[in-house]
């Protein structure tokens, strides 16, 4: 299987980017083609052979990654599998690409693999980085219903069949949108604890737009993908969970502002998932209401 890698950067982590690219180059097996997308910024110096694309403006995470996909041809068809890696991450082992090849070759319906993210100093995996509800044991691999955006591998056939990431989301929940569309088309998603990306421990709320975009995109996610009867259930549960977490008053104002924006603005084409997909998600341990 031919493997490529897409890395988006804002140019502010040149040393981390170089270390990541070097870790990709050290992977066992056939060489991996790498595309680095400068998302509204110049691309720092990278090794010879690495392709670069510099965008005049920041298109957000899904928009930047979609540009990287198209750098490999329509829907990435020049390769069989694409790795999507955060520019401040680092592949911990040299056999990750080979493990991906083996996983996709062994299971024709496997569409996406989510890696385990671990802190490079402590080895700890944050609970939020285990893409399932039963997240207490990050060392347990399993089928899952979503994946981690900056530490994953996607079969390009999935992208050709269901499309790429939703550009308009800019930041937050774009992975779940793609995951739900892939699952609805019959593909499966695996979380693999043995495929590790080192990444410093961070809090998502460090981003100034976090609360607004998380709320807006959750509404868009429901409007785009859920059967009509589940939309109010899903959003009602998330409203309750948000209140129970007792965010600060400014954060809550931003969240409700994003929630309203999600209803008042276009969300893109609506393609509600089949009820059998709802049942499959439920059997996998995460019904699409939480």
Stretch 205-220: mean pLDDT: 86
* Domain range list for the chain: 3-202, 205-272
Per DSSP (E only), the strands in the chain are 3-9, 33-38, 51-54, 81-85, 90-91, 110-118, 142-144, 151-155, 188-198
d(CA 246, CA 250): 11
Packed helices 174-184 and 275-283: angle between N→C axes, nearest 10 degrees? 110
Residue 210 has pLDDT above 70, yes or no: yes
- Overall fold of domain 3-202: Spore Coat Polysaccharide Biosynthesis Protein SpsA; Chain A (3.90.550)
Reported as a single tens digit per residue, the pLDDT across 149-196 is: 999 999 999 999 999 999 999 999 999 999 999 999 999 999 999 999
Residues in the chain: 290
Q: Kindly list the distances between the CA atom of residue 140 and the CA atoms of 94, 148, 245, in Å, as whole numbers in the listed order.
A: 21, 16, 27
Reported as a single tens digit per residue, the pLDDT across 30-87 is: 999 999 999 999 999 999 999 999 999 999 999 999 999 999 999 999 999 999 999 9
Count of CB atoms situated within 10 Å of the CB of 56: 8
Taking the whole predicted model, whether its pTM rises above 0.85 is answered as yes
d(CA 112, CA 173): 16
């Amino acid at each position: 299987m031919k493997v490529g890698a897409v890395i988006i950067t804002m140019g502010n982590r040149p040393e981390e980017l170089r270390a990541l690219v070097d870790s990709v180059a050290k992977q066992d097996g056939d060489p991996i083609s790498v595309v680095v997308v400068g998302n509204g910024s110049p691309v720092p110096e990278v090794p010879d052979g690495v392709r670069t694309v510099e965008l005049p403006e920041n298109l957000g995470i899904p928009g930047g990654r979609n540009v990287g996909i198209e750098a490999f041809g329509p829907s990435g068809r020049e390769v069989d599998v694409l790795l999507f890696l955060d520019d401040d991450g680092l592949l911990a082992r040299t056999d990750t690409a080979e493990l991906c090849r083996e996983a996709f070759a062994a299971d024709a319906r496997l569409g996406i693999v989510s890696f385990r993210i671990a802190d490079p100093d402590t080895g700890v995996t944050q609970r939020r980085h285990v893409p399932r509800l039963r997240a207490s044991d990050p060392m347990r691999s399993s089928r899952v219903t979503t994946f981690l955006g900056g530490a994953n591998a996607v079969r390009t056939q999935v992208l050709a069949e269901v499309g790429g990431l939703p550009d308009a989301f800019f930041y937050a929940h774009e992975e779940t949108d793609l995951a739900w569309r892939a699952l609805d088309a019959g593909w499966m998603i695996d979380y693999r604890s043995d495929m590790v990306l080192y990444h410093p421990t961070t809090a998502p709320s460090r981003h100034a737009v976090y609360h607004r975009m998380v709320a807006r995109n959750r509404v868009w996610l429901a409007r785009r993908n859920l059967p009509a009867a589940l939309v109010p259930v899903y959003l009602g549960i998330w409203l309750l969970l948000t209140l129970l977490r007792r965010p600060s008053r400014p954060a809550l104002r931003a969240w409700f502002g994003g929630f309203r924006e999600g209803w008042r603005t276009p969300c893109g084409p609506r393609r509600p998932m089949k009820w059998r997909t709802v049942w499959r998600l439920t059997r996998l341990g995460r019904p699409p209401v939480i």
